[in-house]
């Protein structure tokens, strides 16, 4: 949909992702929101250098881990003109206590939520919401047990509290991912509309 409307799409494979073997996948253990962040940003730097991407019109979106990374990236870098986080983790403490896969968070942070000032705190996007200037759309399913809807709601409220532009959409019959009809069509349309509003394609009416 984005391609059909004139956007270039960068679909990266940062450390921790699948398709390049177990050793590559393990690079993210204990480092969620660490070096994987710079993998993504360096890819954008490369596309800007090549003239593929306009540095003033960069958007970011992702689902699940990508939802976390979308929320995290806008707290770490001000280059983004628009963001859409779908099914994100934004507060690792609440996610650890409410998600039905709590061990995953311990594994990916290599820490415990009782460590004062540890990664559960410093790698949580909600704790750094005051640094966000990017207009952000957060999308979640009310029945999501993997990344509970309270994660998107917390980030949305934190952004509003700090004066950032934020919209929250919750689909009442959806779980982890917006998959049913007509919700899937509605979600796709809203994502496209958000990017068109915040960073319209040049020459578009």
The arithmetic mean of pLDDT across residues 122-139, rounded, is 98
Residue 4 lies in a domain: no
Instruction: Mark whether 64 is an active-site residue.
Output: yes
The range of the structural domain enclosing residue 93 comes to 57-198
DSSP the chain: -TGGGT--------TT-SSS-HHHHHTTTT-TTTHHHHHHHHHHHHHHHTTSS-TTSEEEEEETHHHHHHHHHHHH-S-EEEEEEES----HHHHHHHSS-HHHHHHHHTS-TTSTTSHHHHT-GGGGGGG--S-EEEEEETT-SSS-HHHHHHHHHHHHHTT--EEEEEETT-BSB--STTHHHHHHHHHHHHHHHHSPPTT--
We report the CATH number of the domain holding residue 98 as 3.40.50.1820
At 60-107, the pLDDT tens digits run 999 999 999 999 999 999 999 999 999 999 999 999 999 999 999 999
Residue 50 lies in a domain: no
Instruction: Name the catalytic one among 71, 99, 156, 176.
Output: 176
Residue 13 lies in a domain: no
- Quote the pTM value: 0.95
Instruction: Name the catalytic one among 46, 64, 71, 99.
Output: 64
At 159-201, the pLDDT tens digits run 999 999 999 999 999 999 999 999 999 999 999 999 999 999 9
Q: How many domains does the chain have?
A: 1
Residue 151 lies in a domain: yes
Instruction: Mark whether 17 is an active-site residue.
Output: no
Residue 205 lies in a domain: no
Q: Is the pLDDT of residue 116 over 80?
A: yes
């Amino acid at each position: 949909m984005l391609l059909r409307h004139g956007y270039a799409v960068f679909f990266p494979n940062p450390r921790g992702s699948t398709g390049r073997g177990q050793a590559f996948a393990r690079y993210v253990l204990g480092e969620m929101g660490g070096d994987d962040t710079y993998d993504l940003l360096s890819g954008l730097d490369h596309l800007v250098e090549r003239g593929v991407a306009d540095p003033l019109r960069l958007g970011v979106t992702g689902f699940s881990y990508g939802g976390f990374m979308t929320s995290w990236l806008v707290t770490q870098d001000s280059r983004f003109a628009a963001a859409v986080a779908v099914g994100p983790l934004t507060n690792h403490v609440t996610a650890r206590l409410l998600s039905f896969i709590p061990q995953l968070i311990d594994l990916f942070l290599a820490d415990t939520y009782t460590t004062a000032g540890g990664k559960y705190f410093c790698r949580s996007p909600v704790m750094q919401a005051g640094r966000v200037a990017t207009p952000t759309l957060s999308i979640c399913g009310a029945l999501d047990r993997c990344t509970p809807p309270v994660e998107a709601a917390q980030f949305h409220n934190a952004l509003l509290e700090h004066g950032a532009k934020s919209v929250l959409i919750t689909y009442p019959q959806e779980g982890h991912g917006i998959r049913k009809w007509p919700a899937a069509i509605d979600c796709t349309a809203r994502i496209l509309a958000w990017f068109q509003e915040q960073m319209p394609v040049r020459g578009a009416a």
